[in-house]
């Protein structure tokens, strides 16, 4: 049997179970199982199918065992902000609601009618976004949610998966830092804010740091996997961005290297020793997220390839071409120059993305895309332009300017977008690793065995 660390990586559209092992001193990755992650619309809300995802995770773990891997440990990472609530008996109080749900519309305005924005940012260091946990919980309070009233614990998505594997409830630092409810300097819950907003204080769990143990697999889980040895679940940087960033080498001798985690979301930023909580950082929409080894991922959350993914989904329903290797080269040969503001609210969850793009171009006096390749070019150029602005914003806050951008994640395979990013920013761009999230996840696990 081969000793292996297992990274379970849940993204907004799919999940993966990946085995990592060392061979001749090198980390090797073996993708064991890929599965779909669907958003389910029901009763006026959008949910994640947690039960199906948990079963898929167990299936992937069983497949790893069947393939001959002896599991040393398991690390789980997911997207940020979303959570599940459990009652005092450990029962899940409904499927977690997706951050794209509309229940948080208008919640920031309600919250900031009661608290001061500047003072709030000086503690949380978090970019205000409707989707953040703070506003999800306040929306539940406003609707007098029965689930919130009986909840015993709040578990973010990776915490929830970990809990049902181990029976131990805790909140991992990096994922908790996406909530807008943490004191980022002290790495503790901001109980003053929690109480001021009338949220139940008792549902927030102890915060564990990347590298700490989260518990051991329960006997019934071991039985399902067909193993008779103990396996620990490790608190990795369980926000997928933080795991991906941990895989990026920081080349200090060559100047500052920015990371660009490219996927459904684009996370553009730098690694710092301490949070940057200035008014300029707040105004420019920066967030300070927890990283590994006490570092801070200082970044902007940017709508990423979601726009193109949504277009592809619509085109699939219409029976049109959805091959990236066909549409992207065709896009490169078009002359369209229209760009959209990718962070405009109309692109968050439109009924039809193509119509939303057309309406934006019409309203701003730009050429309206007509062909598929023109829509693709519009999206990719718009992303590159947004990255240019992001780099400009970051440079205002750093003592030394950024010299290079390291693009990581699945989007790093989009060579045309990489090229546009280099052209628009005027910086060297290096692509990869594609599997940065899994690498960062597994690196933290490996460190716990040293």
**The dihedral formed by the CA atoms of 304, 308, 310 and 313, expressed in degrees to the nearest 10:** -140
Q: For the beta carbon of residue 232, count every other beta carbon within 10 angstroms.
A: 18
Report whether 266 contacts 210 (CB < 8 A): no
Report whether 124 contacts 132 (CB < 8 A): no
Catalytic, 341? Answer no
- Between helix 353-363 and helix 306-317 the angle, nearest 10°, is 120
The closest of 45, 102, 43 to 348, measured between CA atoms, is 102
Rg, C-alpha atoms of the chain: 21
C-alpha to C-alpha distance for 273 and 199, rounded to whole angstroms: 31
C-alpha to C-alpha distance for 289 and 243, rounded to whole angstroms: 12
Catalytic option among 240, 254, 325, 344: 240
Q: For the beta carbon of residue 76, count every other beta carbon within 10 angstroms.
A: 28
Q: Which residues are catalytic?
A: 240
């Amino acid at each position: 049997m081969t000793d292996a660390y297992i990274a379970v990586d849940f993204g907004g559209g799919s999940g993966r179970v990946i085995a990592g092992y060392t061979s001749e001193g090198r980390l090797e990755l073996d993708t064991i199982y890929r599965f779909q992650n669907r958003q389910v619309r029901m009763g006026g809300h959008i949910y994640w199918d947690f039960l199906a995802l948990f079963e898929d995770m167990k299936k992937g773990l069983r497949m790893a065992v069947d393939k001959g891997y002896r599991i040393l440990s398991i690390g789980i990472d997911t997207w940020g902000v979303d959570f599940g609530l459990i009652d005092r008996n450990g029962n899940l109080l409904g499927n977690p609601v997706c951050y794209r749900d509309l229940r948080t519309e208008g919640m920031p305005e309600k919250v900031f009618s009661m608290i001061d924005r500047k003072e709030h940012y000086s503690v949380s260091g978090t970019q205000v976004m409707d989707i953040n946990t703070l506003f999800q919980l306040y929306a539940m309070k406003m609707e007098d949610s029965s689930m919130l009233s009986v909840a015993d614990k709040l578990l973010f998505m990776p915490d929830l998966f970990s809990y049902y594997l181990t029976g131990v409830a805790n909140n991992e630092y990096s994922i908790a830092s996406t909530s807008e409810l943490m004191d980022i300097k002290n790495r503790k819950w901001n109980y003053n804010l929690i109480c001021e907003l009338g949220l139940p204080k008792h549902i927030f769990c102890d915060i564990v740091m990347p590298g700490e143990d989260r518990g051991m697999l329960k006997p019934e889980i071991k039985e399902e996997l067909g193993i008779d040895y103990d396996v620990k679940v490790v608190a990795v940087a369980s926000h997928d961005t933080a795991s991906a960033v941990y895989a990026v080498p920081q080349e200090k001798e060559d100047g500052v290297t920015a990371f660009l985690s490219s996927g459904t979301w684009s996370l553009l930023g730098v690694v710092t020793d301490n949070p940057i909580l200035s008014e300029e950082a707040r105004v420019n929409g920066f967030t300070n997220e927890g990283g590994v080894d006490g570092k801070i991922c200082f970044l902007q959350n940017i709508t990423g390839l979601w726009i193109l993914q949504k277009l592809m989904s619509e085109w699939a329903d219409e029976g049109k071409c959805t091959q990236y290797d066909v549409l992207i080269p065709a896009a490169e040969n078009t002359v369209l120059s229209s760009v959209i503001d990718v962070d405009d609210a109309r692109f968050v969850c439109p009924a039809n993305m193509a119509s939303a793009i057309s309406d934006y171009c019409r309203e701003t006096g730009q050429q309206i895309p007509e062909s598929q390749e023109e829509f693709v070019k519009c999206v990719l150029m718009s992303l590159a332009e947004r990255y240019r602005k992001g780099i400009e914003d970051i440079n205002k806050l750093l003592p030394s300017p950024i010299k290079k951008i390291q693009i990581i994640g699945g989007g790093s395979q989009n060579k045309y977008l990489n090229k546009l990013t280099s052209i628009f920013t005027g910086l060297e761009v290096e692509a990869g690793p594609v599997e940065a999230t899994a690498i960062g996840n597994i690196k933290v696990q490996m460190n716990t065995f040293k």
